[in-house]
Amino acid sequence: MDKLEARLLKEIADLDALPVGAYNIRKDGKLDARSNTANIVIDTKTDKPGIDIHIAPGTKNESLHIPVVITQTGLSDTVYNDFFIGEDCDVDIIAGCGIHNSGCDTSQHDGIHTFYVGKNAKIRYYEKHYGEGEGTGERILNPQTIVYLEEGASIQMESTQIRGVDSTKRYTKIVVGAGGEAVITEKLLTHGRQVAESEMDIVLAGEDATGRVISRSVAQDTSEQVFYPRMTGEAKCFGHVQCDSILMGEARIKSIPAIAAEHPDAQLIHEAAIGRIAGDQILKLMTLGLTEEEAEERILNGFLA
């Protein structure tokens, strides 16, 4: 890896070197490095850009890294990654994309991920988006994640975007089977004139399915954010949507949660809060010796932790 690629991989996947276990690293629209294990096999698609990942039933204590880095200005990259996860698995999947744009043209990555998760499998999925570069060209990321959970299966999905991305449109859909669980944690910070839109459909389709959405965001300067989290209960189930946002400068945020009970035993809750940092919080930290800017930064770091 060159220094630029190594820095991007550190930002999005906390990698200092090639990871242990299965991995597929994509750089500037092409395969850069790949490794399979006995239980995790990655194949290149033959009909369109992307990969098929097969995780054998019963696979436990293994990880899969599939980061993407873009260092070319003007590159538009789209991939279709399908995950076939066997029954009784317990694995970590680390994805994410880092864009370095030093030119004047737009660099863009659209990742379309579809998960088919077998009975009683447990998946932890981490996705971080990051942008940098001294160029005037935009850095655009449009991820789409579709998940189908069979009976007793679960996914814990954590998506993070902290600075550097000029525009993003994220769509997430999870269909939860009987006794399954979906937990989504979303953390977002925008600044400057950045725009971000996040749309979710969580369908609690099976009896005793559960779903939780925790969204925390900060909008600074004149940036704009829009959230559309939707939870639908089609059976006896429990769902909770919570969106908390902090406004700074002249930024704007819209949070439009929706819950729909299509079964008499569906229990669904939504909460949404948008506001500025409380002045007494800043004053308290300033009495401890911090400047106003340092106090704000400390509060934001804690909020997005």
Q: How do residues 144-175 score in pLDDT, each as one tens digit?
A: 999 999 999 999 999 999 889 999 999 999 99
The tens digit of pLDDT for each residue in 238-288 reads 999 999 999 999 999 999 999 999 999 999 999 999 998 888 888 888 888
Alpha-carbon 85 to chain mean position:
19
Q: CA–CA separation, 71 vs 31, rounded Å?
A: 14
Q: CA–CA separation, 196 vs 267, rounded Å?
A: 30
Residues 230-238, mean pLDDT to the nearest whole number: 98
Q: CA–CA separation, 304 vs 217, rounded Å?
A: 7
Q: In this structure, what DSSP letter does residue 131 have?
A: E
Residue 1 has pLDDT above 80, yes or no: no
Tell me the C-alpha to C-alpha distance, in Å, between residue 252 and each of 245, 255, 275, 293.
Answer: 10, 10, 10, 21
The tens digit of pLDDT for each residue in 38-84 reads 999 999 999 999 999 999 999 999 999 999 999 999 999 999 999 99
Residues above pLDDT 70, as percent of the chain: 100
Helix (H, G, I), strand (E, B) or coil at 185: strand
Run of H or E residues at 173: strand 167-176
Is there a contact between 115 and 123 (Cβ–Cβ < 8 Å)?
yes
Helix (H, G, I), strand (E, B) or coil at 260: strand
Instruction: Place 213 in a pLDDT band, splitting at 50, 70 and 90.
Output: very high
Q: Which residues pair with 198 in a beta bridge?
A: 170, 227
Nearest to 116 by CA among 95, 146, 160: 146
| pLDDT in the model for residue 163 | 82
Residue with tokens 């890294």: 65
| pLDDT in the model for residue 282 | 85
Burial 282-296 (b: 16+ CB within 10 A, else e): beebeeeeeeeeebb
Is there a contact between 74 and 109 (Cβ–Cβ < 8 Å)?
no
Helix (H, G, I), strand (E, B) or coil at 124: strand
Q: Which residues contact 9 (CB under 8 A, 6 or more apart)?
A: 1, 15, 25, 67, 69, 98
Instruction: Place 304 in a pLDDT band, splitting at 50, 70 and 90.
Output: confident
Please report, in angstroms and rounded to a whole number, the separation of the first and last CA atoms in the chain.
Answer: 29
